[in-house]
Amino acid sequence: MRSVLTQAKRLVVKVGSSLVTNQGRGLDHAALAQWAGQIAALKALEKEVVLVSSGAVAEGMQRLQWKKRPHRVHELQAAAAVGQMGLVQAYESCFRQHGLHAAQILLTHDDLADRKRYLNALSTLRTLLALNVIPVINENDTVVTDEIRFGDNDTLAALVANLIEADALVILTDQAGLYTADPRKEPGATLVGEARAGDKELENMAGGAGSHIGRGGMLTKILAAKRAAHSGAHTVIASGREPDVLLRLAAGEAIGTQLIAEQMPLAARKNWLANHLQLRGRLVLDAGAVRALRAEGKSLLPIGVTAVSGSFERGEAVLCVDEDGTEVARGLVNYSASESKKILRRPSREIESVLGYVDEPELIHRDNLVLL
């Protein structure tokens, strides 16, 4: 059994609170430095890495000299606001030692549930990766309420894996992986080396809540793997205490628990776009645009669109047809129906002069488009 990270090109790495805060005693700067070093080494292997890091609330608790994680939302928000300053400063300093920049992204569930904000988050992350920047993502605890809280960064990491269509999700924790039973209570419990993500039996094996510093337990990690598998991402749950764990996984060493997604990313994305989104409009494409999509795998540019119908907003799904009405593709648009009508048949360089701004040069980016 080899690690799924050997072939993975785009990774989401989630590091738990206990691994970056020295069990809640403030930020462990030495630990952050070694995570930055490993991620820099992965970048040298031409892998794209998005880091989902806990630690803001724990760091805020330490700065405010609180011994227990607060339960009141406004106290949680205050701790996150204080701790986020130290967390981001520390990561930027660590990555700078390797000639890399870090970027902070704070998300709530609403950001990924709302079509426009989902597409905005995707565009930002895609741009940061293209710029060779390391996105450091955390839940926006400073503004969350019970209704929009992810609940733990394991879930957040899985949703980010879905968002960017990652090949693999790595959840690093203070446990070796998933055991057949709680090893603290069952001496005969054994480590699960590999299983199918989404297997209900895994949920029965998983334990309860995590530490007093973090929110997640093994169950949240199992459910995160199930969620990540929806977009074809495999998941590895492993101990962050293992020396050079990310590099060893990338080299093929099987560490911890591997949960395998049954669908390949392309198949999962195609299924989602083709079958699970309600179409809000239609774009008619000229022959050149059809050829660019089908034969060359390119994005759809406004210059190749001859007609727009329907009522849709940025981020909604539309059907693309050729001039005979034959279905060609469907995808998520970067501009509303009214905006699309204004820029059709125009080169991308004119979008800003027509609309007064430009979000993207493409009407539909190839990452958000599936051929039919």
Per-residue pLDDT tens over the stretch 172-183: 998 899 888 877
Lowest mean pLDDT across 199-213, 231-245, 270-284, 296-310: 199-213
Go through 285-321 and write b for each residue having 16 or more CB atoms within 10 A of its CB, e for each that does not.
Answer: bbeebbebbeeeebbbbbbbbeebeeebbbbbbbbbb
Topology of domain 277-371 in CATH is 2.30.130
Query: Residue 210 above 60 pLDDT?
Result: no
Q: Cα Rg for the chain, rounded, in angstroms?
A: 22
Query: Residue 212 above 70 pLDDT?
Result: no
Q: What is the mean pLDDT of residues 19-33?
A: 83
How big is the chain, counted in residues? 372
Query: Residue 284 above 70 pLDDT?
Result: yes
Q: What amino acid is encoded at 160 in this protein?
A: V
Q: Measure the CA–CA gap between 218 and 230, rounded to whole angstroms.
A: 19
Out of 3.90.700.10, 1.25.40.10, 3.40.1160.10, 3.40.1390.20, select the CATH number for domain 4-265. Answer: 3.40.1160.10
Distances from the Cα of 25 to the Cαs of 36, 69, 171, 303, in angstroms?
Answer: 20, 12, 21, 57
| DSSP β-ladder status, 317-321 and 327-332 | antiparallel
Q: Which residues pair with 52 in a beta bridge?
A: 14, 137
Q: Measure the CA–CA gap between 148 and 141, rounded to whole angstroms.
A: 10
DSSP state of 131: T
Q: By CB neighbour count within 10 A (0-12 exposed, 13-18 middle, 19+ buried), where does 22 fall?
A: middle
Domain ranges for the chain, please list them. 4-265, 277-371
Q: What amino acid is encoded at 86 in this protein?
A: G
**Confidence grade of residue 272 (pLDDT, cut at 50, 70, 90):** low
**Would you state the pLDDT for residue 206?**
79
Cite the DSSP H helix spans in the chain.
17-20, 29-44, 56-64, 73-96, 109-113, 115-130, 153-164, 200-205, 218-229, 245-250, 265-275, 287-294, 337-343, 351-355
The model's pLDDT over 106-164, given as tens digits with 9 standing for 90+, comes to: 988 777 767 778 888 888 999 999 999 999 998 876 666 654 466 678 989 998 998 89
Q: Which residue has the higher pLDDT, 12 or 185?
A: 12
DSSP state of 178: -
Q: What is the mean pLDDT of residues 315-323?
A: 93
